[in-house]
Structure 1
Amino acid sequence: MKVLLMMLGALVLLGGCKGDDDKPEPVRPVLSTVVQPLSQAQLGRFAGNIEARYESTLGFRVSGRIARRWVDVGAQVEAGQTLATLDPTDQQNQLRAAEGDLARVQAQWINAQANARRQQQLYDRGVGAQAQLDIAQTDLKTSSASLEQARASVSQARDQLGYSTLKADHAAVVTAWRAEAGQTVSAGQEVVTLARPDVKEAVIDLPIPVAEQLSPSLVFSVASQLDPSIATTATLRELEPQADAATRTRRARLTLASTPPAFHLGTAVGVTLSSAISPRSELPATALIEREGKTLVWVVDPQQHSVATREVTLIDRDAKRIVVASGLQPGERVVTAGVNSLKPGQPVKVDEDAR
């Protein structure tokens, strides 16, 4: 009887142990994030402006005192439109003097022409001397040369008078005046700056370390600072070879892929720099497990609602994040908290909105 009771007790104990082993793993709620591939590296965001690609500074081709400015800064001008005029008194006097010289030389030429004709007739009748004919023909040639010179002087004087009026050579926008009415300017001195509004570009100043990283694959995103929804892309057209001595920055000029109508000259824009990189994904540092020299993460099986470890290759890490080069596929969900308390195959409950 005693032996029977002991056997029954052993069976009860065995039954209880078997129940504990068959007890299912508890479902553990976990925080997770979805793997999202990155193909662009952000290098920074900088402020810039929309400027004209083609800009010219004009000046008078003659010296004088500015009599009047006909347009102001910001005005739209057409080709041939008058921008400013000089006091034309000096040029008008030069033209009148040249025209007077021309009239005098024309009279001399007419007289020399008549004399040469008369000496030729006398010589042909045999009553004129060869020497007199030669002198008359020489005087005619001299008068003809003087006439051409006088005509050129008149043409030059008229040009000088025309140069006292400064005109736009193409359709443009006046962006700056460097001289005012009443000011005396010399020939070639900068007076007004014109910008062509049909071809625009973005201009930014970049720190030297960033400028040295620019490459042909670099992508620039240009957006209006007032309305970021107005945006386009751009490519690098020109990078100044020397840095500004005061700001230690290098100016970059960007060719816009398209020009939104809101991109007026002088519009403030924000330019974001990004560069093409090999595919990778970024995860919180809390998702990483390091065991036996391996770097692992817990990957959630969406069908079984369980987790399993996956070895990954890292290319960068810091206290807050890790950058995974391989081992994960886009769209997979990785556990980001409590990774040290999980077991392979353990059921988990995932918040679908977790990030």
Structure 2
Amino acid sequence: MKPLLVLLAAATLLPGCKGDEPAPEPVRPVLSTLVEPQMQSQLGRFAGTIQARFESTLGFRVSGRIARRWVDVGAQVKPGDTLATLDPTDQQNQLRAAEGDLARVQAQWINAQANARRQQQLYDRGVGAQAQLDVAQTDLKTTGASLEQARSAVSQARDQLGYTTLKADHGAVVTAWRAEAGQTVSAGQEVVTLARPDVKEAVIDLPIPVAEQLTPSLVFTVASQLEPAISTTATLRELEPQADATTRTRRARLSLASTPQAFHLGTAISVTLSSAIAPRTELPATALLERDGKTQVWVVDPQHKTVSTREVTLVERSERRVVLGAGVQPGERVVTAGVNSLKPGQQVKFDEDAR
């Protein structure tokens, strides 16, 4: 009987020993993302336009009433093309008056020449007085000077008449008219603006704090607002030293690395500013594990599907995002949700395509 009781007791103890073994940790599904380091720091996105690098505003060199505008805004003109004309009546009258003065002085010049020759001949024969010869020669010189002056007056009057026609001095596109037909303009007043379409640039207005951060290493990405896929890069060419008194912005002009065909003059663009920085990683704030005075994240072992903690360096922090300076490597997978319920070495299940 005793051996039988011992066997029964042993049989009852065996199941109890098996139940004392710890149950394996369950495979926990997690959300995760791949580490993709940032090499650029975004300073903002600003609206701007495509403009010609070279623009000129032309005006008449004489005063008068605009008789006709020969081209409209948007027209392409060649060197020498007529843009506008003034009523030339006043200039034509001045030219006729100058030509009349020239004819009168020319007649005086011919008479002075004949008188000087006659007095010289009389003096050479000994029947003429030296005083009369001197008067004749002086009169000839005076009339010669008056002749040159009259010729200059005629040339100037012709120029003034020519100035009543405003012509393009280079190939360009008419971008603006500042005076209308029938309007009286003064000499030098702005009448029309021409832009050379062969060299274009991006123009944006930046807030003063952003403008003060501009450096030669900045990278500008210029994209069309209507077609964002059409884009190019640009570099800073000029930054106006003085801010606009109304908008408190400073105008920046950017030289384009290339000029897409869709970048016509006046095209609305979106300009993104970024600068080169030390590699850093941006993650959701939920990926951060702060425990025992340490800042950590859970890194997934892709081969064994397990997790382990990794201490990281925190650079920036907001309500939704954190920026890490060191601690994780590109291509590693980091848990982004449920970090407080994981244990080192625990197996996890995650979506391979999670970002």
TM-score norm. by structure 1 comes to: 0.93
Aligned residue-pair number: 353
Task: Give the counterpart letter for 1:318 in structure 2.
Answer: S
Task: Mark the runs of 5 or more structure 1 residues left unpaired by the alignment.
Answer: none
Aligned counterparts of 2:116 and 2:324: Cα–Cα separation in 1: 102
Task: Name the residue aligned to 1:45.
Answer: 45
Question: Equivalent residues in 2 for 1:322-341 (5 A)?
Answer: 322-341=322-341
Out of 146-155 and 208-217, give the one that drifted further.
208-217
Does residue 131 in structure 1 map to residue 135 in structure 2? no
Alpha-carbon offset, residue 37 of structure 1: 0.6
SS at 1:20 equivalent: coil
Distance 2:178 2:338 in 1: 69
Counterpart AA for 2:136 = A
Structure 2 Cα separation of the partners of residues 156 and 73 of structure 1: 32
Deviation at 1:152, TM superposition (A): 0.5
Mapping for residues 4-153 of structure 1, pairs under 5 Å: 4=6, 8=10, 12=14, 15-16=17-18, 20-21=21-22, 24-153=24-153
Structure 2: how far apart are the matches of 1:121 and 1:133? Answer: 9
Q: CA deviation at 1:24?
A: 4.1
- Aligned-pair distance for 1:233? 1.1
Q: Distance in 1 between matches of 2:88 and 2:15?
A: 122
CA deviations over 1:182-240 (Å, ceiling 9, x no partner): 11111111111111111111122222332222222221111111111111111222222
Q: CA deviation at 1:296?
A: 0.8
Residue identity matched to 1:12: L
Return the alpha-carbon distance in structure 1 between the equivalents of residues 39 and 18 of structure 2: 56
Structure 2 distance, partners of 1:306, 1:150, is 103
Q: Partners in 2 of 1:227 and 1:337 — Cα distance? A: 37
Q: Which residue of 1 aligns with 2:188?
A: 188
Residue 250 of structure 1 is matched in structure 2 by 250
What SS does structure 1 have at the residue aligned with 2:95?
A: helix
Superimposed CA distance per residue, residues 286-344 of structure 1 (whole angstroms, 9 cap, x where no aligned partner): 11111222111111112222111111111011221111101111000001112122222
CA distance in 1, matches of 2:265, 2:222: 14
- C-alpha distance in structure 1 between counterparts of 2:54 and 2:318, whole Å: 46
**2:311 maps to amino acid:** E
Gaps of 5+ in 2: none
User: In the aligned structure 2, how far is the partner of 1:293 from the partner of 1:164?
Assistant: 83
Moved more, 197-206 or 78-87: 197-206
Report the Cα distance in structure 2 between the residues aligned to 1:294 and 1:132, rounded to whole angstroms.
118
For residue 150 of structure 1, give the secondary structure of its aligned residue in structure 2: helix
- Tell me how far apart the structure 2 counterparts of residues 10 and 333 of structure 1 sit (CA, whole Å): 48
**Aligned to 2:21, what secondary structure does the other structure show?**
helix
- CA–CA separation in structure 2 for the residues paired with 1:30 and 1:83: 72
> In structure 1, what is the Cα distance between the partners aligned to 2:277 and 2:11?
69
Query: 1:135 Cα deviation (Å)?
Result: 1.5
Q: Which amino acid aligns with 1:8?
A: A
The one-letter amino acid paired with 1:20 is E
Residues of 2 paired with 1:242 and 1:124: CA distance? 78
- Matched AA of 2:14: V
Greater shift after overlay, 205-214 or 301-310? Answer: 205-214
**Whole-angstrom CA distance in 2 between matches of 1:245 and 1:9:** 96
SS of 1:273 mapped into structure 2: strand
Q: After the TM superposition, which residues 204-219 of structure 1 pair with which residues of structure 2 at under 5 Å, given as runs?
A: 204-219=204-219
Cα RMSD, aligned residues only = 2.0
Q: The residue matched to 1:329 in structure 2 has which SS?
A: coil
Residue 47 (structure 1) shift: 1.6
Cα distance per residue 1:10-63 (max 9 Å; x no partner): 96378426x725x54332222110000101122222221111121111111111
Task: After TM superposition, give the deviation of residue 67 of structure 1 in Å.
Answer: 1.0
Percent of aligned positions with the same letter in both sequences? 81
Paired letter, 1:167: K
